[in-house]
Structure 1
Amino acid sequence: MADTIDGDSVQQLMFLMTSMLSDLPYFSILITLFLLLLSGLISGSEVAYFSLTAEQIKRCKNSEDATEKRVFKLLQNPKDLLATVLILNNLVNVAIVTLSTYISWDIASKMGMEKDAPIILFFMTVVVTAAVVFFGEIVPKVYASQRNLRFAKQVSGIISAAITMLSPMASGLTFLGDFVEKLLKKKKKIEVSVNELNEAVEIVTASEDTINAEEILKGIVNFGSMSVKQIMQSRMDIEAIDISMDYHHVMDRINKSGYSRIPVFVDSIDNIHGILYIKDLLPYLDEEEHFKWQDKVRRDTFFIPENKKIDELLRDFQEKRVHIAIIVDEYGGTTGLVTLEDIIEEIVGEINDEFDMPDEMGYKKLSDAKMVFDGKTSLLDFCKVTGVDPEIMGEAKGVSESLGGLMLELFRKMPNTGEQVSFSNLIFKVKAVDKKRIKMIEVTFKDRVTKTSKAKVHG
């Protein structure tokens, strides 16, 4: 049977508690309670601000209320807002712990209980921890999640002042956070996602009624890693108009090209003046040759560098509401042209309309093992048509993005008609060439020749 606590022990315990309370430094306690309240407001603000819906944010943006306007302004820099909230919350919590430790030692010294100071410190630590977790975290966060906009408005003044005071520290921590985030974005993570998508390709293509699913999913896999240089129309193939041409010649070029947007240059293709939208000329079809069509040229031309990624360009097209961009090199010269259609084709495959003729596709199939390609065919399109793995090209292509460029890398010179070279399981034979470029290339697939021969023998 457990020993009972006698009356003297109870009296001693009550005396000890009364003595502790009478000796407490009340000013320190008041500061601790204030800091606990401040900790709750800061913790709740984190939930309140980052749980606002798009509709609530829009309301704050369009509101005439100064407090709601301030809430919207704070949300414009979410990284700085989060950094400030975290810094302030940790400063307050550290201050609470420090102050509670001071109070514990002060009680022990006033009561002559220095030997029992660790016990008092442990007791205070448990009490303070429970108070911080309950009153400084749980209660305010539950309240803020249910009344997020109201709570955000109530603490907006405190947070704004804190951002101003803690700006240097918050900026430094934000910079370090971005740096660590970049370090953690390892290639391995990208490879995992690519493997997952490749598995999705295999699953989807197992279905017999799937149309172009494999090409679409493969396009999605490679979309973020492709640059505009890989899909652009080279400067040699750009259909452009000299600004000095008369109106009749311009209309003739437009009718022959079939394009809805045509670049306009001054003196040379390297000096693009603007883009002519054919729809802008529709009301003036009956004008004379001296009609000032140049006034209809749109000057807000979108210029981009060669190394820009196509996923970034797609977002730019959406934001700027344009469908065409001129690609320039480091010296400002025109390298090529890319359109919204070119980007979409990298996902959904070739988009052909009634104006696309069969001979404009850039290749012709002679047999299962032999095809003829235009020299300007991009390596990406070549791989799509033939099923060749793009990685096989590897370093052999150098900086080239076209089939003709690959030939120059392999031959190390401008080849003559009839010359051929072997690469991997492919045999490239030059069918037509002029002084400037390789025009036609015949491609033979060694493995397909073997299969074709076997099929003939067995037949």
Structure 2
Amino acid sequence: AIVLLASFITNSIIDFTNAPLAGFVFQIVIITFILLLFGEIMPKVLATNKPLSFARLVAFPIHTLIRLLKPLNSILISSTSRIGKRFAPRKNISMDELSDALDITTDGITEEKKILHGIVNFGNIMVSEIMKPRIDVVAVEDDTSFSDLKKIVVESGYSRIPVFQNSFDGVKGILYVKDLIPFIEKDNSFRWQNLIRSPYFVPESKKINDLLAEFQQKRIHMAIVVDEYGGKNGIITLEDILEEIVGEISDESDDDVQLYSKIDNLNYLFEGKVQLNDFCKVVSCDDDIFDDIRGDAETLAGLILEITGQIPTKNELVRHKNFNFTIDAVDNKRIKRIKVQIIPTNDDGSKK
């Protein structure tokens, strides 16, 4: 701006119409050199050699100019800011970009990073990935005697228990243990079935962030998970959802059931029913590493069945990518335990 202003003043004083080359040399080369010498180089040299004296010399003029030009400066800054907000394109950060940003942070905030990763991935997790499968659900049949019901409640330690008729596919409702407390001294003829509350059904494909909002709106803590044919696949609780953010939540009533044991850094022993989502967290691999083969599988045992197409035999070895799965325990119905060996890979993805 100063160069342009100096060129304008020079053209007003001196006419270079007949000597355009001389005008170019004078206006661009000579004026630029003078401005750099007296406006950039000389002040820096003086300020370096005599900083205190130079500061005293220029402090008052600079302070005066700042006060004089403050109104104009404020107008220019505010107008520029408004124009920038109005016309500047908004850049939306994708979840993948945010996840990558978390991966390159320092290792000093491991726990905080896990929580942030849980928040980032929260909207991508479906109910079927974290639900408790029906085979592991503690439920009671509607014709159970009151004495037997009390035993089940005490042994399970749960505060909410599904009630079904004939089979789990015939879920009739949820029994809240707190509703039983006023009638705990009743005899075996007590009709506890009158205390059953209506169940809340959710599809297995629902995202857990949407389900969390529904739990908050309806003020409930448990839902029955159904498939596309209406079959009951299991249950999901508010605790299951929150654990995806903050990690495992344990209380005094929880049994210390280990779904895996770590042999060393590259070898593990997993229960077949462990969720693939939890498996990936334990072995520190990407959540989508099995997307090309998992199909509808949500557990490690289900993944093995997808790979083999049949129930494997004991000690059978199944290889996939950089994992070696060895069947440790199996029966005619399901895979119970699996040994997992992780094969180290190079940066290009090839096995070492």
Deviations 1:172-231 (A, max 9, x none): xxxxxxxxxxxxxxxx956x343134314543xx263x3511211111111111110111
One of 282, 291, 304 as aligned partner of 2:202: 304
Measured in 2, the distance between the counterparts of 1:329 and 1:416 equals 29
Matches within 5 A, 1:372-411: 372-411=269-308
8 Å contact from structure 2 (residues 102, 113) kept in 1: no
Number of residue equivalences: 255
Q: Distance in 2 between matches of 1:439 and 1:197?
A: 33
Following the alignment from structure 2 to structure 1, what is the Cα–Cα distance between the partners of residues 188 and 330?
39
Match of 2:114 among 209, 215, 218: 215
**Offset of residue 391 of structure 1:** 2.1
Alignment pair present for 1:250 and 2:111? no
Equivalent residue number for residue 97 of structure 2: 195
Q: Percent identity?
A: 43
Does the Cα contact within 8 Å between 1:428 and 1:441 map onto a contact in 2?
Answer: yes
Q: Give CA deviations for 1:129-179 in whole Å, capped at 9, x if unaligned.
A: xxxxxxxxxxxxxxxxxxxxxxxxxxxxxxxxxxxxxxxxxxxxxxxxxxx
1:314-333, aligned counterparts within 5 Å? 314-333=212-231
Amino acid of the residue matched to residue 221 of structure 2?
H
TM-score by length of 2: 0.69
Matched, 1:362 2:259: yes
SS in 1 for 2:288: helix
Unaligned runs of 5+ in 2: 1-90, 346-352
Q: For residues 327 and 188 of structure 2, what CA distance do their matches in structure 1 show?
A: 44
SS at match of 2:239: helix
Return the alpha-carbon distance in structure 1 between the equivalents of residues 251 and 126 of structure 2: 25
Give the superposition deviation at 1:418: 0.8
Of 230, 233, 251, the match for 1:335: 233
> CA offset at residue 355 of structure 1?
2.9
Alpha-carbon separation, structure 2, partners of 1:201 and 1:257: 40
TM-score for both structures, normalised by structure 1: 0.53
Letter in 2 for 1:425: N
Q: CA separation in 1, counterparts of 2:102 and 2:330?
A: 43
Counterparts of residues 53-452 of structure 1 (less than 5 Å): 192-200=94-102, 202-203=104-105, 206=106, 208=108, 210=109, 212-299=111-198, 301-358=199-256, 360-447=257-344
Letter in 2 for 1:214: K
Provide the secondary structure at the position in 2 that maps to 1:220.
Answer: helix
Cα separation, partners in 2 of 1:447 and 1:211, compared to 1, 3 Å: closer
What are the superposed Cα offsets for residues 221-279 of structure 1, whole Å, 9 maximum, x if unpaired?
11111110111111111111100000011111111111110000111111111100001
Amino acid aligned to 1:315: A
Counterpart residue number, 1:10: none
User: What amino acid is the match of 1:296?
Assistant: L
> Which residue identity lines up with residue 430 of structure 1 in the other structure?
I
Corresponding letter in the other structure for 2:101: E
CA displacement at 1:282 relative to structure 2 = 1.1
CA offsets 1:268-300 (integer angstroms, 9 cap, x no match): 11111110000111122222122111111112x
Where 2:326 maps in the other structure, the secondary structure is strand
Answer yes or no: is the 8 Å Cα contact 2:139–2:161 preserved in 1: yes
Amino acid at match of 1:248: S
Question: When you count strand as a share of all residues, which structure comes out higher?
Answer: 2
1:182 aligned partner: none
Question: Hey, what does 2:49 align to over in structure 1?
Answer: none
Q: Distance in 1 between matches of 2:127 and 2:291?
A: 18
RMSD of aligned C-alpha atoms? 1.7
How far off is 1:340 after superposition? Answer: 0.4
Partner amino acid, structure 2, of 1:416: T
- Cα distance, 1:389 vs. partner? 1.5
